[in-house]
Structure 1
Amino acid sequence: MNMSFFDQFTSPTMAGIPLTMLALIAPWFMMPAKTSKWLNNRLYTIQLWFSSLFVKQLMSPLNKKGHKWSLLLMTLLIFILLNNLLGLLPYTFTPTTQLSMNLGLAVPLWLSTIILGTQNQLTVTLSHLLPEGTPTLLIPTLVIIETISLLIRPLALGIRLTANLTAGHLLIQLISTAILTILPLMPMVSTLAFMILLLLTLLEIAVAMIQAYVFVLLLSLYLQENL
């Protein structure tokens, strides 16, 4: 029984073919396509409003060099958000519960910000490893600590996203399994648990949105340090 709870986090297969790639492609079909009509539909208008609001808020602290990243960060946000919400649908799979995928997104983007910082301002990038006014005896220790904190950033990005989604999905499955088990014995208790499950589902939707935003926001902060 315990193993079946974690089966939802394994990559599903059909006829021996992994469906992970299909799950990665599916969110893009949910995006409304632009039409040639004079007036856009409400869904496309909301999408444009959300995109402009997010880009304006995310790019305001960055200089003009960082504005080149707006399309990449916006695309990344939509991709992670739709993949997070995809797992809340029945008979679907959440690719962002896989640590390998999250690290595959976090490590190259984090490394690109570091490379960009070393190319544009090497002195400023290296100065982040040693705070100003540090005593001489503490310099080796602080350099090691700051280096470890710098290298652990992509791990924190990937593990944070994986842990939050995994915990929420697992809690939803545990409560739903308990509801089906106690329904014939205690209908009132199962009804109360079902109400809690609905609230937890709404919370999981909010977590999926927040975690996508936090992932992209932290990347923009790393970018800001190296511009």
Structure 2
Amino acid sequence: MTLSLFDQFMSPWFLGTPLLAISLVLPWMLLPTPSLRWLNNRLITTQAWFINRFTQQTFLPLNVEGHKWALLLSSLMMFLVFLNMLGLLPYTFTPTTQLSLNLGLAIPLWLATVIIGMRNQPTAALGHLLPEGTPTPLIPILIVIETISLFIRPFALGVRLTANLTAGHLLIQLVSMAVMVLLPLMPAVAILTAALLLMLTLLEVAVAMIQAYVFVLLLSLYLQENV
């Protein structure tokens, strides 16, 4: 009997080796490698089209200085999509349900955008802490509020990704347990519940892709304020 539904989100170990490290390397092995031919197959062509459209959509509002991040953020997008989708396979583990991993991705990238802003345009970067036209008595309060909102951004990135994936996996786990319990008692209701489980799985696939896109999109917005 499962002691807790959250046991499925614990990082698994096998023979003293953390499987989290293996799962982080696995997505790069699943990516198709482009060949030297003039015409690639449909899978590689679709992948190139997806990366091209994502890069254009994300970096459209950024100036030329921000385009240097295109390769990094596009790779991060593909990496997060594969990690999020990995947990939907049977007998697998979703690394992005670990808050430590998400914060390990969010904090350094957010800090890099802040450092770039302080180095290239310190006046504009510090100007975000105090909106223009603020009354004099409210200046200290607004500076404190804006500073807190600035430092809470990476934690919001990590918690949002963790919470959405954890909630979806928990819901799938609960509905699948209901199907197993209802199958010998009420087969008709169990079939309807299984159909609901299928729709939830499709929804979770969409959530896995959308959350990866939102993570990278917010990073690009933070970058836009500092370049």
What TM-score range do you get, normalising by the shorter chain? over 0.9
Question: What residue is the counterpart of 2:196 in the other structure?
Answer: 196
Question: What residue is the counterpart of 2:75 in the other structure?
Answer: 75
Question: What residue is the counterpart of 1:216 in the other structure?
Answer: 216
Q: CA offsets, 1:156-201, max 9 Å, x none? A: 0000000000000011011101110110001011101000000000
Partners of 2:223 and 2:125 lie apart in 1 by 11
TM-score (normalizing by structure 1): 0.98
Q: Which moved more, 1:145-154 or 1:15-24?
A: 15-24
Report the CA distance between 1:2 and its aligned residue: 6.0
Question: What residue is the counterpart of 2:143 in the other structure?
Answer: 143
Question: What residue is the counterpart of 1:42 in the other structure?
Answer: 42
Partners of 2:128 and 2:89 lie apart in 1 by 43
Report the CA distance between 1:38 and its aligned residue: 2.7
Partners of 2:146 and 2:6 lie apart in 1 by 36
Give 1:41-190 correspondences, 5 Å limit: 41-190=41-190
Partners of 2:224 and 2:139 lie apart in 1 by 25
Q: Percent identity?
A: 65
Partners of 1:84 and 1:29 lie apart in 2 by 15
Q: Which moved more, 1:69-78 or 1:4-13?
A: 4-13
User: 2:36 aligned with 1:30, yes or no?
Assistant: no
Poorly superposed stretches of 4+, deviation over 4 Å: none
Report the CA distance between 1:13 and its aligned residue: 1.1
Aligned to 1:65, what secondary structure does the other structure show?
A: helix
Report the CA distance between 1:94 and its aligned residue: 0.4
Task: Please report the RMSD computed on the Cα atoms of aligned residues, expressed in angstroms.
Answer: 0.9
Partners of 1:46 and 1:8 lie apart in 2 by 33
Aligned to 2:64, what secondary structure does the other structure show?
A: coil
Report the CA distance between 1:81 and its aligned residue: 0.6
Q: What is the letter of the counterpart of residue 168 of structure 1? A: G
Aligned to 2:205, what secondary structure does the other structure show?
A: helix
Q: Which moved more, 1:51-60 or 1:160-169?
A: 51-60
Partners of 1:208 and 1:26 lie apart in 2 by 17
Q: Which moved more, 1:142-151 or 1:35-44?
A: 35-44
| Number of residue pairs aligned between Structure 1 and Structure 2 | 227
Partners of 2:217 and 2:115 lie apart in 1 by 19
Partners of 2:118 and 2:41 lie apart in 1 by 45
Q: Which moved more, 1:3-12 or 1:138-147?
A: 3-12
Unaligned runs of 5+ in 1: none
Partners of 1:85 and 1:64 lie apart in 2 by 32
Aligned to 1:101, what secondary structure does the other structure show?
A: helix
Q: What is the letter of the counterpart of residue 31 of structure 1? A: L
TM-score (normalizing by structure 2): 0.98
